[in-house]
Chains A and B, each alone.
Chain A
Amino acid sequence: MVTRGFVRSATWRTAVALLVIAGIVAAACAPQSGTAPSASAKDPASITVLVTSSPSATALQALAPAFTKQTGIAVKFVEVPYAEVAPKLLLAAKANESTYDVSQFDSSFMAGLAAGGALLPLDSFLKDTPAYDVSDFPQKVLDYAKFEGVTYGLNLSTEPYVLWYRTDLFSQLKLKPPTNSAEYLANAIALKGAGYFGSDSAYGPAFAWSKWAEAVYLRGGRFLDPNTNQPRLTAPDVIESTKYYMSLVPFTPKSAVNGGGNDMNTAFIQTEVGQEINATGYYSIMADPKTSKVVGKFDAALAPREKIGPYDPLTLMFGWLIGVSKTSQYPEAAKKFLNYVLAKAQVSAFVDAGAPPPARKSTVANPAILKTLPYLPTLLAASDVGEHAPYIPEMAQIGPLISKHINAMATGQETVEAGLAAANVEVTKVLTDAGRIKK
Chain B
Amino acid sequence: MIVDPGRAARRSLPLPSWMRAGAASPSAMSLLFSAPAWLLMLGVVALPLLTAIFLSFTSESLIRVAPLQLVGLRNYEALLTVGFVRALTVTMTIVAAGLVIQMPIGFVIAEVLHRELPGFRVVRSALLVPMLLTPVAVGLMWRFLFNPDLGLIRFVLSGIKPDLNWFGDPILAMLAVVLVDAWQHIPFVIVMMLAGLSALPVDAIEAASLDGAKWWSMNRYVIIPLLWPVILVTLLFRFIDSFRVFDLIYALTNGGPGAATTSVSILAYQNTFTYFEVAQGATIAVAMAAAIFPVYFAFLRLTRI
Contact = CB atoms under 8 A, between A and B. Distances in A.
A393 to B, nearest CB: 4
Q: How large is the interface on B (under 10, 10 to 19, 20 to 34, 35 or more residues)?
A: 35 or more
Nearest to A405: B258
B63 A254 contact: no
A83 B39 contact: no
Interface SS of A by simple majority: helix
Given A13-B29, A17-B29, A87-B276, A258 B257 contact: yes
Contacts of A270: 150
Contacts of B62: 87, 90-91, 94, 112, 116
A408 interface: yes
Contacts of B270: 400
A146 B194 CA distance: 63
B168 A21 contact: no
B64 interface: yes
Nearest to A414: B258
Interface string B262-284: 00000000100111110000000
Contacts of A14: 28-29, 32
A91 B90 CA distance: 30
Interface in B22-38: 27-29, 32-33, 35-36
B260 interface: yes
B147 interface: yes
Interface residues of A, number: 45
A90 B150 CA distance: 38
B64 A21 contact: no
Nearest to A409: B258
The residue among B28, B63, B147, B273 with the most chain A CB atoms within 10 A of its own CB is: B63
Contacts of B147: 255
B241 interface: no
Interface string B248-264: 00000111111110000
A397 interface: yes
A204 B170 CA distance: 13
Interface string B224-260: 0000000000000000000000000000011111111
A252 to B, nearest CB: 10
B257 A255 contact: no
Interface string A388-416: 00000110110010001101101101100
Contacts of B43: 28
B217 interface: no
A349 B90 CA distance: 51
A112 to B, nearest CB: 4
A253 interface: yes
B165 interface: yes
A74 interface: no
Contacts of A257: 165, 168
Contacts of B275: 396-397, 400
A221 interface: no
Nearest to B257: A411
Given A10-B29, A254-B149, A258-B167, A404 B258 contact: yes
Nearest to B256: A205
Contacts of A410: 168, 257
B129 interface: no
Contacts of A255: 147-150
B156 interface: no
Contacts of B163: 254
A70 to B, nearest CB: 36
A289 B255 CA distance: 34
Nearest to A400: B274
B39 A21 contact: yes
B169 interface: yes
A90 B256 contact: no
Contacts of B256: 204-206, 258, 404, 407, 411
A271 B65 CA distance: 47
A333 B208 CA distance: 81
A3 to B, nearest CB: 19
24 contacts: A14-B28, A20-B36, A94-B62, A112-B276, A115-B64, A115-B65, A204-B256, A205-B255, A205-B257, A205-B259, A254-B149, A257-B165, A258-B256, A267-B149, A397-B274, A400-B270, A400-B274, A404-B255, A404-B258, A404-B259, A408-B259, A411-B170, A411-B257, A413-B257
Interface of B: 27-29, 32-33, 35-36, 39, 43, 62-65, 147-150, 163, 165, 167-170, 253-260, 270, 273-277
Interface of A: 10, 13-14, 17-18, 20-21, 24-25, 28, 83-84, 86-87, 90-91, 94, 112, 115-117, 204-206, 253-255, 257-258, 267, 270-271, 393-394, 396-397, 400, 404-405, 407-408, 410-411, 413-414
Given A10-B29, A413-B170, 9 more contacts: A17-B35, A21-B35, A25-B39, A112-B276, A204-B254, A396-B276, A405-B258, A408-B259, A413-B260
The 4 closest A-B pairs by CB, nearest first: A205-B256, A408-B258, A254-B148, A17-B32
